[in-house]
């Protein structure tokens, strides 16, 4: 059965991206369309997009929606990057033509509630008015989670005659909930009947993610282990009880990797392409990366890398402390990251103290991210929690052995030698501490000193299939169930 699915996300690669959400929605959309489904994606028209992507054109579609006491208008633009796939951009210049997506100079935009309640309304409206009549509306994260509530209210209003689609919400990170003072609920223009403990209200505030969890017909998250974790107090960020109560409609589906973007055999960002059959290109990439970073070009020095948002979630504090402890062992390390300025400074200081061993690049640099994956020997990802994580899966493909904390999607996608000797492709540690990470780095150094074993790990890693096929099939199964309700 071919399905008609409308996805929605506040960021979408290659048009906008701050993290894995943009990659995931883009890859899922492409993969669903490839498998024969009719797919649309709704996302904001951020500053400069029509100039950078001239194929994005006005769609001759106008929206005028109430937002509290006002009426806000938007124009829809669109492009069709693949067969059966259309991306719809919401053009509301006052809301979306900004220097950044959500946060500027470390400060959240003061009108984020307005910006994303409006986006959620546009999504719900398009879901019901697009001529190809989506059967499923699949929204991603808190920014568009309220769409599920808008669809629910429409169903309640229209009763049996409703053409509203079935709804699915994917939680990419339960730590981000879109929590605002209760008076912001007025922006929804819905009756206050929905502002209840089993709806949009959470401890007296509007909580967009909770509204989505309570009102979507189905909820998914991005790895099986994270689906279990978020029902516990430690990982649920306050919503664990809400999620426990809905466990029957919650599943974890591991994200895949878009191998059109991340494949060392085809990667245009790499100085040299390579495959598991011939790793000489990987050695050349390492030398080029060492040179680019101003580090001594020494093939025998192990090179570790991290590409990350610099936040507590990603374990940057334990990484800094573990590097302090382990750098005297003589390896090199490169960081590419942006985020909290104290972390940015701490890595810069480390790079100044160890100029022959550490390079720190702050800011967002997509091609450098590819070169780091291509050139490093090991990839460090010591997250406190990690819903899915993409870089460890990119690392596997690039033969860059992931060293990860066993949490969420990291645990689901990396195999340690103690779990399975034959399939070992990475190093895992359990305790969230600098000491445990330092020990894992020590294991990596031991592995590096055994070229035969390292080669075995690399081949195992590169052979893992993280393509979207299987995950897409799981989502399609969810959609089919919902469409057949
Ligand atoms: P999250 O979504 O929590 O940030 P993921 O591992 O799921 O983490 O996805 C992060 C994505 O963002 C990856 O594609 C990674 O390469 C990319 N990324 C993160 N920081 C940077 C950066 N400073 N420059 C380039 N790419 C980055």
**Do 315 and 430 fall within a single domain?**
yes
Hey, how many other C-beta atoms are within 10 angstroms of the C-beta on 302? 22
How many domains is the chain partitioned into structurally?
2
Q: Contact, 174 vs 236, CB < 8 A? A: yes
What's the CA-to-centroid distance between 70 and ligand 1, angstroms? 37
DSSP string, 150-174: HHHHHHHHHGGG--PPEEEEEES-T
DSSP string, 338-369: EE-HHHHHHHHHHHHHSTTTEEEEES--HHHH
Are 140 and 246 part of one and the same domain?
A: yes
* Strand-pair category, 57-67 with 38-44: unpaired
Sequential DSSP letters for 58-97? EEEEEEEEEETTEEEEEEEEEEEEETTEEEEEEE-HHHH-
Question: How much distance in Å is there from the Cα of 269 to the middle of ligand 1?
Answer: 16
Element (H, E) at 125: helix 112-129
User: Do 232 and 362 fall within a single domain?
Assistant: no
- The Å distance, Cα 18 to ligand 1 centre, comes to 7
268-287 confidence digits (pLDDT tens): 999 999 999 999 999 999 99
Distance 267 CA to ligand 1 centre (A): 17
Whether 229 and 350 share a structural domain: no
Residue 79's domain comprises 4-256+469-483
- Cis omega (within 30 of 0) on the bond before 14? yes
In a domain, 103, yes or no: yes
Res 1 pLDDT > 70: no
H helices of 246-365, in order, are: 280-293, 316-326, 341-353
In this predicted structure, what is the pLDDT of residue 106? Answer: 84
The answer to the question of residue 268 being in a domain is no
Evaluate: CB of 168 within 6 angstroms of ligand 1: no
Confidence (pTM)? 0.93
Asked whether residue 311 falls in the same domain as residue 191, the answer is no
Q: Looking up tokens 């996302």, which residue turns up? A: 43
Position 131 in a domain: yes
Verify that 247 and 337 share a domain, yes or no.
no
Distance 423 CA to ligand 1 centre (A): 26
51 and 110 together in one domain: yes
* Residue 295 and residue 248 share a domain: no
- On whether both 237 and 309 belong to a single domain, the answer is no
Within-domain flag for 270: no
Could you report the per-residue pLDDT of 23-41, keeping only the tens digit for each? 999 999 999 999 999 999 9
> So what's the pLDDT on residue 231?
98
Is the model's pLDDT at 160 over the cut of 90? no
> Cα angle at 165 between 93 and 238, to 5 degrees?
75
Is 96 a member of any domain? yes
In a domain, 262, yes or no: no
Q: Does residue 337 sit in the same domain as residue 219?
A: no
Same domain, residue pair 205 and 296: no
Six-digit token string for 250: 């919650």
Task: Look at residue 273 and tell me if it is in a domain.
Answer: no
Same domain for 69 and 135, yes or no, is yes
Residue 392 CA, closest ligand 1 atom number: 6
Ligand 1 atom with the shortest distance to the CA of 21: 2
Domain of 317, CATH number, reads 3.40.50.2000
485: confidence class by pLDDT, cuts 50, 70, 90: confident
Give domain status of residue 275, yes or no.
no
Distance CA 80, CA 59 (A): 11
Closest C-alpha residue for ligand 1 atom 22: 364
Mind listing the pLDDT tens digit for each residue in 51-86?
999 999 999 999 999 999 999 999 999 999 999 999
User: In this predicted structure, what is the pLDDT of residue 105?
Assistant: 87
Cβ(319)–Cβ(382) under 8 Å? yes
Residue 176, ligand 1, Cβ within 6 A: no
Return the number of other C-beta atoms located less than 10 Å from residue 76's C-beta. 20
Average pLDDT, the chain: 97
Res. 166: pLDDT tops 70: yes
The pLDDT assigned to 176 comes to 97
Name the residue of 309, 381, 414 whose CB sits within 8 Å of the most ligand 1 atoms, as the mutation to test its pocket: 309
**CB of 23 shorter than 6 A to ligand 1:** yes
Region 415-436 average pLDDT: 97
Q: Is the CB of 366 under 6 A from ligand 1?
A: yes
Q: What percent of the chain has pLDDT over 70?
A: 100
């Amino acid at each position: 059965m071919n399905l008609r699915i409308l996805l929605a996300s506040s960021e979408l690669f290659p048009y906008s991206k701050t993290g894995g959400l943009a990659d995931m929605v883009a890859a899922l959309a492409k993969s669903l369309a490839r498998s024969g489904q009719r797919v649309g994606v709704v996302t904001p028209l951020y500053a400069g997009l029509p100039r950078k992507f001239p194929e994005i054109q006005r769609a001759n579609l106008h929206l005028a929606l109430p937002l509290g006491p006002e009426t806000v208008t938007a124009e829809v633009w669109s492009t069709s990057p693949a067969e059966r796939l259309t991306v719809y951009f919401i053009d509301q210049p006052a809301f979306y033509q900004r220097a950044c997506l959500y946060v500027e100079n470390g400060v959240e935009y003061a009108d984020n509630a307005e910006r994303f309640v409006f986006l959620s309304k546009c999504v719900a409206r398009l879901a019901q008015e697009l001529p190809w009549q989506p059967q499923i509306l699949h929204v991603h994260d808190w920014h568009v989670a309220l769409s599920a509530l808008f669809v629910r209210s429409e169903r309640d209003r229209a009763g049996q005659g409703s053409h509203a689609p079935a709804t699915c919400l994917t939680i990419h990170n339960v730590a981000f909930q879109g929590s605002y003072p209760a008076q912001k609920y007025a922006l929804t223009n819905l009756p206050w009947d929905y502002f209840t403990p089993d709806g949009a209200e959470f401890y007296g505030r509007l909580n967009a993610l909770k509204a989505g969890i309570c009102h979507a017909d189905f909820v998914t998250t991005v790895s099986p282990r994270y689906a279990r974790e978020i029902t516990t107090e430690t990982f649920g960020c306050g919503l664990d009880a809400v999620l426990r109560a809905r466990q029957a409609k919650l599943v974890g589906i591991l994200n895949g990797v878009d191998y059109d973007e991340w494949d060392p055999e085809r990667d245009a960002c790499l100085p040299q392409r390579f495959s598991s059959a011939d790793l000489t290109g990987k050695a050349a990439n390492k030398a080029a990366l060492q040179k680019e970073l101003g580090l001594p070009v020494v093939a025998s020095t192990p090179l570790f890398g991290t590409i990350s948002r610099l936040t507590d979630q990603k374990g940057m504090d334990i990484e800094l402390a573990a590097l302090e402890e382990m750098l005297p062992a003589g390896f090199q390390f490169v960081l590419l990251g942006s985020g909290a300025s104290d972390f940015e400074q701490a890595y810069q200081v480390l790079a100044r103290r160890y100029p022959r061993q550490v390079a720190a690049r702050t800011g967002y640099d997509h091609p450098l991210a590819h070169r780091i994956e291509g050139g490093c020997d090991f990839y460090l990802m010591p997250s406190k929690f990690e819903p899915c994580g993409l870089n460890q899966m990119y690392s596997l493909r690039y033969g860059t052995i992931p060293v990860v904390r066993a949490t969420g999607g990291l645990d689901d996608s990396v195999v340690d030698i103690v779990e399975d000797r034959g399939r070992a492709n990475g190093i895992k540690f359990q305790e969230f501490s600098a000491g445990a990470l330092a020990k894992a780095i020590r294991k990596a150094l031991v592995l590096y000193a055994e070229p035969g074993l390292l080669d075995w790990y690399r081949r195992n890693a590169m052979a893992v299939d993280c393509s979207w096929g299987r995950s897409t099939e799981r989502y399609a199964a969810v959609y089919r169930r919902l469409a057949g309700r």
